[in-house]
Amino acid sequence: MTPPQRSAGQHLDEMTLLLYLERQLDRERAADVSSHMQSCGDCMTLFRALDRESRLLTRAMLEEDEPLPARLASFQQRAKRSMQWIWMVTFGLAASGVYAIYTSYVEPVQSRLQDAGFGGTSLLGLLVFQSAFWKGWQSMLSLVEILAFLVIGVSAALLFRRWFRRGTLAALLVTGMCGALMLPANAAAFESRKGETVEITKEETIKGDIFLTGNRIVIDGTVDGDVYAFGQDIELNGHITGDLLAGSQTIRINGTVDGNLRGFVNTVTVPGTIGRNLMAWAQVVNIDSKGKVGRSLTSFCQTLGIDGQINGDVVSFNQAARIAGTIQGEMRAKGEMLTIKSTAHITGPVKFEGDKEPRVESGAVLTAGPVSYTKHTPDHREGGKGYLFFRLLWTSSFILYGMVLTLLMPKFAGDCVSSAENAGPSLGIGLLILLSTPIAAILACVTFVGLPLGLLTLALWFVLLFSAQIVFGSVIGRWILGPTEDTWGRVGRMALGMGILGVAVPIVHQTNHWIEFFFKLALMIWGMGAISLAIYKRLQRSSGAVVAPPMVA
Amino acid sequence: MGAPGTAESTEAIARARAGDPEAWGELYREYAPAIFRFCRRALPTREDAEDATMDVFVKVHEKLDQYDPSRPFSSWLYKVAANYCWDLLRRRKIRQDKETEDVDEVPLEHPDGNQLEQLIEQRTSEEVRKALDKLPTRARMALVMRYYSDMSYDEIADELGVRRAFVGVVLLRARHELRQALEGTGALAVGGAG
């Protein structure tokens, strides 16, 4: 560095001396300064004073005049908490956003659809907005509101924390919580009964929802709310003004359900009335000749029999369906066979996809025309000529997908393969992820608050599912060619492994479909476990700070 | 502060980079006091310094992969800390960025060395620290970067956003302001033999 070439009389200026002291002058200029100072006492004195000033500054700043604050000892925990705030704020904002979207768009549209009479006929609407779950969702909406307020309050407190003393903040939070607790609570009654035989007698009227568990459940009285019933046999002779959600061996509806019936049961028999929709996952579903469903019927069962009346659409996935009653809407069925008896009357179009042509007896009234039949043909996944071509295409796609993933995240790909070599933990965690993730995601979706989160989780789960085979392919490649740190080496091993799997799967397919199924399942579990372990290790690494030992102030 | 670049530190850094939480804890214990003091000298309040120390370490932990092991770890840490503190001052709009870089304003006096010696002898470290607190932000930041963390002129220029040639001017002006704060007069800063 060359300072301005001006001097203070015959002495060197302070700037030049400082730069000389700090070794910022070029060699030639430094030599001049050095030479000058040999013969100039004033400049040497100032130089020494500047040097002492520098030392004093350094000493004063380095001196440990105050101990390290105790707060810093747990700074990593604070970092973790700050992340939690970020998540809370994100969650709160997302929840508020979802709530706003619901109240602004979904609710009015839903209301208009209801007015137009489409409320119960859409499968999506039926699943999402009209089930017994809806009650739970409504409670969740209140929770969302409270959470949103809490998040806003806490965020504000954090934002203005500089102006609060700790006591003030604590007092504010406590006051806020007390205030929240003092708010009038929504009227909620939730009675429960359990025992060998649980009965609601004819004289009884239950106000509000009720939860029933027992070997035999008999409802002769009236429930002015929803019923959640789980037992061996359920019999309704009375009246439920809300929905009935049931899980049992058999369920018989002799009485009336004003709302919906959702059942996970072996046999459903309906000689009575269901005011709105019936959805059943069962072996046998029977709507007796006196039975009536106010809106739609959706069944996933082995045998469906309709002798009574359905006032909406029927959607069925059954082995065999027999229609002898009335359907005041469209029918869409998929299964092995469909029989429409002479007494049947269907006003909407009938679509059937099955193995055998539908049997329509003479006398049956199909107002919208004959049954539209599509023969079920086994696709490439079930065998057929194109199977090998499909496998080739499938394997190539996987290799390409795996190549992209490996090139994008070579280090992570290596971690996954390393984790996969620990077969026990990988299989254990893989099984856990395979089963628990979709359940958790569906539960999150059902609670409405977590709908986006649930859908995102499901999407990630599918990505994980498809990526699992690639991990296993890489492991096979590594077993054959040995470990490598080179990215393209990893890609090569993955491609080799996937190629081997591509050959192995059709061979297993020829042997036995079940063996193929379990073979693929094992691969997926193993691969999913390995990826999850690698992600876990990554997260543990990145949150390493959090577990660092606290520092003593 | 532990000697940067020692075998022990280097090993801890390598292990921390590989995700070892214990190693990260070691690094934190070793370097946190120094970073706290740096922030304490650079920022107006103790609370700011505490917050800044935490945030600097969070940043350092996030960016540990970007650290170049061929350079001293402490230098990198100070650079992150300086960057954070200067940015914080900017966000609070209390730093002076518009100070002139006019070379004509470079002080060319030759103050009395004996007077300066006398002033230095009379002042304690504590008085210097109190005087530092009274300095404008840029002057204080420059002195801290140079005389606390031993940052080079290039690094200081980079942080303050000035030309390298102007760093000496900033430092000399800062020293003058410090002397004024110590003395309560501008005698040493403006007076001179020459």
The answer to whether B139 touches B178, Cβ cutoff 8 Å, is yes
Q: Is B19's CB within 8 Å of A42's CB?
A: no
Residue B106 or A415, more confident: A415
Tens-digit pLDDT profile for residues A529-544: 888 888 877 665 544 4
Average pLDDT, chain B: 81
Tens-digit pLDDT profile for residues A29-72: 999 999 998 888 889 999 999 999 999 999 999 888 788 787 77
Provide the token pair at A149: 């307020």
Q: What distance in Å separates the CA atoms of residue B56 and residue B33, rounded to the nearest whole number?
A: 12
Per-residue confidence (pLDDT) for residue A325, from 0 to 100: 93
**For residue A285, what pLDDT band results from cuts at 50, 70 and 90?**
very high
Tens-digit pLDDT profile for residues B126-178: 899 999 998 988 999 999 999 999 999 999 999 988 898 889 999 999 999 99
Average pLDDT, chain A: 76
Per-residue confidence (pLDDT) for residue A160, from 0 to 100: 58
Among A186-195, A239-248, B99-108, B111-120, the minimum mean pLDDT is found in: B99-108
Per-residue confidence (pLDDT) for residue A171, from 0 to 100: 54
* Size of chain A in residues: 553
| Dihedral angle computed from the Cα positions of residues A549, A551, B4 and B9, in that order, rounded to the nearest 10 degrees | -20
Among A79-83, B92-96, B159-163, the minimum mean pLDDT is found in: A79-83
Residue A252 or A394, more confident: A252
Q: Is B108's CB within 8 Å of A4's CB?
A: yes
Is it the case that residue A128 has pLDDT exceeding 50? no
Per-residue confidence (pLDDT) for residue A111, from 0 to 100: 60
Q: What distance in Å separates the CA atoms of residue A357 and residue A353, rounded to the nearest whole number?
A: 9
Please return the burial class of B84, using the count of CB atoms within 10 Å of its CB with bins 0-12, 13-18 and 19+: buried
Tens-digit pLDDT profile for residues A336-359: 889 999 999 999 899 888 888 889
Is it the case that residue A262 has pLDDT exceeding 60? yes
ipTM for the predicted complex comes to 0.86
**For residue A234, what pLDDT band results from cuts at 50, 70 and 90?**
very high
Contact residues on chain A for B132, CB-CB shorter than 8 A: 60-61
Q: How many other C-beta atoms lie within 10 A of the C-beta of residue A457?
A: 18
Q: How many Cα atoms within 13 Å fall on the side-chain side of residue A143?
A: 11
Is it the case that residue A150 has pLDDT exceeding 80? no
Among A68-77, A119-128, A518-527, B11-20, the minimum mean pLDDT is found in: A119-128
Per-residue confidence (pLDDT) for residue A85, from 0 to 100: 52
Range with top average pLDDT, A153-162, A198-207, A455-464: A198-207
| Chain B residue at shortest CA distance from A12 | B110
How far A425 CA sits from the closest chain B CA (Å)? Answer: 21
Interface of B with A in 18-57 (CB under 8 A): 18-22, 24-25, 28-29, 32-33, 36-37, 40-41, 46-47, 50, 53-54, 57
